[in-house]
């Protein structure tokens, strides 16, 4: 048996939708993008959605609407580097924060210690699909008069107190990269409940063009194509069944590893529905008998795909150390050294999930080679 770490196969209906667009010759942003924006925003409980070329572009658009050169933005260091990179791209300074060692999400106490008179925003990341405590973040943002840019690239289908995570102010960024819960090849979406921000981002997405050949602001070409949007529209019809499979698989993995010393799953935020983009565990070498990398290798030898998300926290990346100096964020560093992702995706059967558990438990009993 073989179980990959991710699954990104398109259905015949999704391929047919893309083929219809290709055959029509209407390849650029158009009616399919418009329809996808409305339908996806409805799915995540947002008022508006703006399609983009990718998830990074969606973050960049959000930051462009309010950041001035030198403005500071609070960013958890345990995230994909794009979260911080887009702050830099928009002229801001990412202020990297530590994370909670159990949930892997931004530590608001640590973030509070880094607020200055230049702080303009906070970027909570729903890492691996685990939802940040929205009420706590909004209270924090209100206290410090900050914008909130939610990074939900890994949180399609996730909910907070029964509402989709797209429902919350000010901006919510999504990615449709092939490894994500929804995948159209490339592409992203930035959601908001503010019509003024929606309009501004639409203009900035097309080089600041507010009328034909009339540009009133700076921008970029961040447009999605109708080919990608057509896949997304069709895939929305099966996103909840896919999410149900991820939830089932996560329940099997959680129950199967509950009493396993040395392998600790991510702590799920109360009153949330985890998106289960990844099922990640902290591997304690002393308690389990091998370290993260050795366990990953053993599982791969047994036909089980694994991943490391991420082997370096953002503040450990050379480019950030060169520009902003060496920083100590102990929880993020510990997670970078010990986190291992195991399969949980919608392409798995329940039998596959039990197989993953069984093989992982056998790895503990296998002597190191």
Residue 295: inside a domain, yes or no?
yes
Looking at the whole model, is its pTM more than 0.85? yes
Judging by beta carbons within 10 Å of its beta carbon (0-12, 13-18, 19+), is residue 126 exposed, middle or buried? buried
182, 8 contact by CB (below 8 A): no
Do 218 and 245 sit in the same domain of this protein?
A: no
End-to-end CA distance of the chain: 22
Domain that holds residue 358: 239-365
pLDDT for the residue 364: 85
Q: Find where tokens 């209906």 sit.
A: 13
Residue 2: inside a domain, yes or no?
no
| Token representation of residue 367 | 């002597």
Do 248 and 346 sit in the same domain of this protein?
A: yes
Tally of domains in the chain: 2
Do 177 and 89 sit in the same domain of this protein?
A: yes
Do 249 and 231 sit in the same domain of this protein?
A: no
DSSP 280-299: EEEE-HHHHSS-HHHHHHHH
| Token representation of residue 217 | 């602001």
Do 247 and 212 sit in the same domain of this protein?
A: no
How remote is the C-alpha of 244 from its chain's centroid?
A: 18
Do 125 and 266 sit in the same domain of this protein?
A: no
Do 193 and 59 sit in the same domain of this protein?
A: yes
Among the candidates 235, 269, 291, a domain finishes at: 235
pLDDT for the residue 274: 98
Among the candidates 217, 235, 253, a domain finishes at: 235
Question: CA–CA separation, 306 vs 252, rounded Å?
Answer: 17
How remote is the C-alpha of 179 from its chain's centroid?
A: 10
Residues in a beta bridge with 147: 121
Question: CA–CA separation, 103 vs 92, rounded Å?
Answer: 27
Q: Nearest 5°: phi and psi at 286? A: -65, -40
Do 202 and 340 sit in the same domain of this protein?
A: no
Do 68 and 204 sit in the same domain of this protein?
A: yes
Among the candidates 203, 219, 235, a domain finishes at: 235
Residue 335 makes CB contacts below 8 A (sequence gap 6+) with 78, 99, 101, 104, 282, 313
Residue 45: inside a domain, yes or no?
yes
Neighbours of 85 (CB within 10 A): 19
Question: CA–CA separation, 169 vs 141, rounded Å?
Answer: 10
Mapping DSSP to helix (H, G, I), strand (E, B) and coil, where does residue 355 land?
Answer: helix
Counting as low any pLDDT under 50, the low residues of the chain are: 367-369
pLDDT for the residue 121: 99
Helices of type H across the chain = 12-24, 31-43, 55-64, 82-89, 108-112, 134-144, 195-204, 226-235, 239-256, 285-288, 292-301, 318-324, 330-338, 350-365
Residue 3: inside a domain, yes or no?
no
Residue 5: inside a domain, yes or no?
no
pLDDT for the residue 114: 98
Do 230 and 273 sit in the same domain of this protein?
A: no
Do 204 and 279 sit in the same domain of this protein?
A: no
Do 276 and 132 sit in the same domain of this protein?
A: no
* CATH code: domain of residue 127: 3.40.640.10
Residue 1: inside a domain, yes or no?
no
Question: CA–CA separation, 104 vs 159, rounded Å?
Answer: 17
Question: CA–CA separation, 170 vs 6, rounded Å?
Answer: 31
Residue 4: inside a domain, yes or no?
no
Residue 6: inside a domain, yes or no?
no
* CATH code: domain of residue 332: 3.90.1150.10
Residue 142 makes CB contacts below 8 A (sequence gap 6+) with none
| Token representation of residue 19 | 């083929």
Residue 87 makes CB contacts below 8 A (sequence gap 6+) with 63, 67, 73, 75, 93, 94, 123
The dihedral built from the CA positions of residue 117, 121, 125 and 130, taken in this order, carries a sign that is positive
């Amino acid at each position: 048996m073989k179980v990959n770490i991710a699954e990104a196969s398109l259905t015949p209906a999704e391929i047919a939708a893309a083929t219809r667009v290709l055959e029509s010759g209407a390849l650029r942003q158009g009616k399919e993008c418009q329809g996808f924006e409305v339908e996806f925003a409805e799915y995540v409980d947002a008022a508006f959605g703006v399609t983009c070329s990718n998830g990074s572009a969606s973050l960049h658009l959000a930051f462009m609407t309010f950041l001035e050169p030198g403005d500071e933005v609070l960013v958890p260091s345990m995230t994909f580097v794009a979260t911080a990179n887009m702050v830099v791209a928009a002229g801001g300074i990412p202020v990297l924060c530590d994370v909670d060692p159990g949930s892997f999400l931004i530590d608001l106490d640590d973030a509070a210690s880094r607020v200055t008179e230049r702080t303009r925003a906070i970027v909570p990341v729903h890492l691996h699909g685990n939802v940040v405590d929205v009420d706590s973040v909004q209270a924090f943002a209100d206290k410090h008069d900050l914008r909130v840019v939610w990074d939900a690239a890994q949180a399609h289908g996730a909910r907070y107190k029964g509402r989709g995570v797209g429902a919350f102010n000010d901006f919510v960024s999504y990615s449709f990269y092939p490894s994500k819960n929804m995948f159209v090849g490339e592409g992203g979406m930035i959601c908001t409940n503010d019509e003024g921000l929606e309009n501004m981002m639409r203009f900035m997405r097309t080089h600041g063009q507010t009328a034909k050949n009339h540009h009133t602001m700076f921008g970029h070409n961040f447009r999605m194509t109708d080919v990608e949007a057509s896949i997304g529209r069709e895939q929305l019809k099966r996103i909840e069944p896919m999410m149900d499979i991820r939830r089932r698989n996560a329940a099997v993995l959680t129950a199967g590893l509950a009493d396993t010393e040395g392998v600790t799953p991510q702590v799920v935020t109360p009153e949330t529905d985890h998106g289960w983009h990844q099922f990640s565990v902290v591997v304690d070498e002393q308690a389990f008998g091998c370290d993260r990398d050795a366990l990953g290798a053993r599982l791969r030898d047994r036909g089980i795909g694994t991943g490391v998300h991420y082997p370096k926290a953002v503040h450990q990346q050379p480019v950030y150390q060169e520009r902003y100096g060496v920083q100590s964020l102990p929880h993020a560093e510990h997670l970078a050294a010990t986190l291992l992702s195991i399969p949980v995706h919608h392409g798995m059967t329940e039998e596959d999930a039990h197989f993953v558990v069984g093989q992982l438990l056998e790895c503990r009993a296998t002597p190191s080679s």
